Amino acid sequence: MDHVDKIIAQWRRERPDLTLEPMAVIGRMARLSQHFSRGMGKTFAKHGLNAASFDVLATLRRSGAPYQLSPGDLMATTMVTSGTMTNRIDQLVKDGLVERVKNPDDGRGFLISLTDKGFALVDGMLGDHVETQESLTAALSDEELATLNELLQTYLSRIDDN
């Protein structure tokens, strides 16, 4: 019996009229999210980053050469507001990890580009990040991990469409 089972048992006792399976699933997913955030947060901190800054740097890195995107494209891939993105970018510029460059396709706009320092940081820490994720999922066999991934993909595709 895990922590969520105890909560569900209490609710079953107090409110047997309720359907509690969704609560159990969401409770477990929330607890997993907390474990994931803590584990990955340690790796980010080891490299002087937080989840938000890593998100921007990793998005730029995986976009491919020349490792630059418009602020709008960054907002779309990270799903944050423009004010939040501006703050993230400002901090990364201050840290010398990204720079604002003129957009050659739009004289009024600019692109956010990884600096050499930013590229080296995100590229160098990616191995640690993947190792952390492997350790966070190590309690599952390869088959279980594949099954869970498939179920989550199906679930997310159904609710992301709404």
Q: Residue 47: what residue type?
A: H
- The fold for domain 47-160 equals Arc Repressor Mutant, subunit A (1.10.10)
pLDDT at residue 35, as a whole number: 96
pLDDT at residue 162, as a whole number: 61
Rounded CA-CA distance 16/27 in Å is: 18
pLDDT at residue 118, as a whole number: 98
Angle separating helix axes 21-46 and 3-14, nearest 10 degrees: 150
pLDDT at residue 81, as a whole number: 83
Domain ranges of the chain: 1-46, 47-160
- List, for residues 85-136, the tens digit of each pLDDT value: 899 999 999 999 999 999 888 878 899 999 999 999 999 999 999 999 999 9
Residue 45, pLDDT > 80, answer yes
Residue 151, pLDDT > 80, answer yes
pLDDT at residue 136, as a whole number: 97
Q: Taking residues 54-59, what's their average pLDDT?
A: 95
- Pair 32, 5: CB distance under 8 Å: no
